[in-house]
């Protein structure tokens, strides 16, 4: 690999590092949350059972208040977020989750956009490489004769 | 590979179709479609603790050995008021059955309103308040009225979302006694 082609890869490597870094930052579980923050965060993920399209964190119904209290107790008992979500799904069904689960079919909802992004980047890469490796067009004898003829005409006029 | 771009485009098309199918079947469907069925069907009665109007604490253990109807209700809900004559009629038929119990758990209401209701209606079955809404949460209720049938061995075997007729309640009781699930 020549020094020139190595330099050509640098922007791609930087782009890859940037994408991986952003994804890691966005998806990495945030550490250092207090119990209250965890309970609040979970309440935002759960649908209020007896109201429309509100989270348990945002609703003031008796059910939502009971859920918030229950979440505080479960977090204080040391239950993991996954265990708590599972307990609510067991009780209410998948519809209690405002965000689809990240396993099973829910993986498609989360994973497909990422796969599409990667596939799109791959398509762009292939297209750029093809454009770069395409042979530059060479003028034919007819082309050169046509240009000569036009120049001669310009000079004459 | 002769035409890599075509393969990539084909792959993207397949992913888009799959994504559309997921959106159409999962996200686009009514997120509360499962609201009318209980996730507890076939499971053990959840742990709960309520307080009867005469001050006695009741838990799931107190229902053991009896075919039980648990009805979540309150005084201000119109469907609960519509359901009330049916509950009364149904309970009158089975009140003398020693192997049967009907428990009305008040959901999201004040003790004062419940006392007024009881003075006016004199319900004969056990009525209990649910401080903190923990029983309503344990049963996974989404509103009221909601009615559960519990078998003598503690399994939830029937569920009715919304007001029950006396006939619905008979079906639930039959399920609780070991007949067909409701």
Same domain, A58 and A11: no
Interior angle at CA A73, CA B54 and CA A100, nearest 5: 115
Considering only CB atoms, B5 lies closest to which of A66, A100, A127, namely A127
Same domain, A9 and A40: no
Which has more pLDDT, B148 or B131? Answer: B148
Taking an 8 Å cut-off on Cβ atoms, the answer to whether B5 and A123 are in contact is yes
Domain enclosing residue A25, as ranges: 1-30
Sheet with B156-161, strands from edge to edge, namely B57-59, B49-52, B126-129, B100-106, B67-73, B146-150, B156-161
CB B70 within 8 A of CB B177: no
| Interface contact A63, partner B, CB < 8 A | yes
Q: Using alpha carbons, select from B111, B114, B182 the residue that is nearest to residue B150.
A: B182
Taking an 8 Å cut-off on Cβ atoms, the answer to whether A108 and B11 are in contact is no
Q: What is the pLDDT of residue A56?
A: 96
Q: What's the number of domains chain A is made of?
A: 3
Using H for helix, E for strand and C for coil, what is the string for A61-129? CHHHHHHHHHHHHHHHCCCCHHHHHHHHHHHHCHHHECCCCCCCCHHHHHHHHHHHHHHHHHHHHHHHH
**Residue A30 predicted with pLDDT over 60:** no
Q: What is the pLDDT of residue A9?
A: 82
User: What is the rounded average pLDDT of the residues B148-160?
Assistant: 97
Structure tokens at A6: 């190595």
Same domain, A88 and A122: no
Could you give the 3-state DSSP secondary structure of residue B169?
Answer: helix
B160 secondary structure, DSSP code: E
| Interface contact A103, partner B, CB < 8 A | no
> Mutate which of B1, B3, B5, B8 to test chain A, going by most A C-beta atoms within 10 A?
B8
Q: What is the pLDDT of residue A102?
A: 63
CB A126 within 8 A of CB B1: no
Which has more pLDDT, A111 or B128? Answer: B128
Considering only CB atoms, A116 lies closest to which of B4, B15, B23, namely B15
Is pTM beyond 0.90? Reply is: no
Q: What ipTM was predicted for this assembly?
A: 0.77
Q: Report the length, in residues, of chain A.
A: 157
Tens-digit pLDDT profile for residues A72-106:
999 999 999 999 999 999 999 888 998 866 666 66
Chain A residues with beta carbon closer than 8 angstroms to that of B24: none
Same domain, A41 and A84: yes
Which has more pLDDT, A77 or A116? Answer: A77
Boundary residue ending a domain (A45, A78, A96): A96
């Amino acid at each position: 690999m020549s020094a020139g082609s190595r330099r050509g890869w640098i922007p791609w490597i930087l782009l890859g590092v940037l994408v991986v870094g952003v994804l890691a930052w966005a998806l990495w579980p945030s550490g250092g949350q207090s119990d209250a923050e965890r309970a609040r965060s979970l309440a935002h993920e759960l649908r209020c059972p007896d109201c429309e399209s509100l989270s348990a964190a945002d609703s003031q119904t008796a059910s939502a208040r009971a859920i918030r209290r229950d979440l505080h107790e479960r977090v204080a008992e040391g239950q993991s977020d996954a265990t708590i979500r599972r307990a609510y799904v067991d009780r209410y069904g998948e519809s209690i989750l405002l965000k689809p689960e990240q396993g099973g079919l829910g993986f498609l909802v989360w994973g497909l956009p990422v796969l599409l992004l990667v596939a799109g980047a791959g398509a762009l890469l292939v297209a750029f490489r093809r454009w770069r490796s395409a042979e530059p067009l060479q003028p034919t004898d007819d082309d050169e004769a046509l240009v000569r003829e036009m120049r001669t005409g310009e000079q004459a006029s | 590979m002769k035409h890599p771009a075509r393969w990539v485009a084909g792959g993207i098309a397949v992913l888009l179709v799959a994504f559309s199918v997921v959106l159409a079947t999962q996200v686009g469907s009514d997120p509360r479609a499962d609201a009318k069925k209980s996730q507890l069907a076939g499971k053990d009665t959840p742990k709960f603790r309520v307080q009867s109007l005469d001050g006695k604490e009741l838990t799931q253990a107190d229902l053991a050995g009896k075919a039980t109807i648990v009805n979540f209700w309150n005084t201000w809900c119109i469907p609960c008021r519509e359901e009330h004559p049916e509950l009364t009629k149904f309970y009158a038929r089975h009140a003398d059955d020693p192997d049967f119990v009907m428990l009305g758990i008040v959901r999201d209401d004040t003790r004062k309103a419940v006392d007024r209701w009881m003075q006016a209606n004199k319900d004969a079955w056990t009525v209990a308040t649910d401080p903190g809404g923990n029983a309503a949460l344990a049963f996974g209720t989404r509103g009221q009225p909601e009615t559960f049938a519990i078998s003598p061995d503690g399994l939830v075997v029937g569920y009715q979302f919304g007001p029950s007729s006396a006939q619905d309640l008979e079906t639930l009781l039959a399920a609780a006694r070991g007949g067909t699930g409701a």
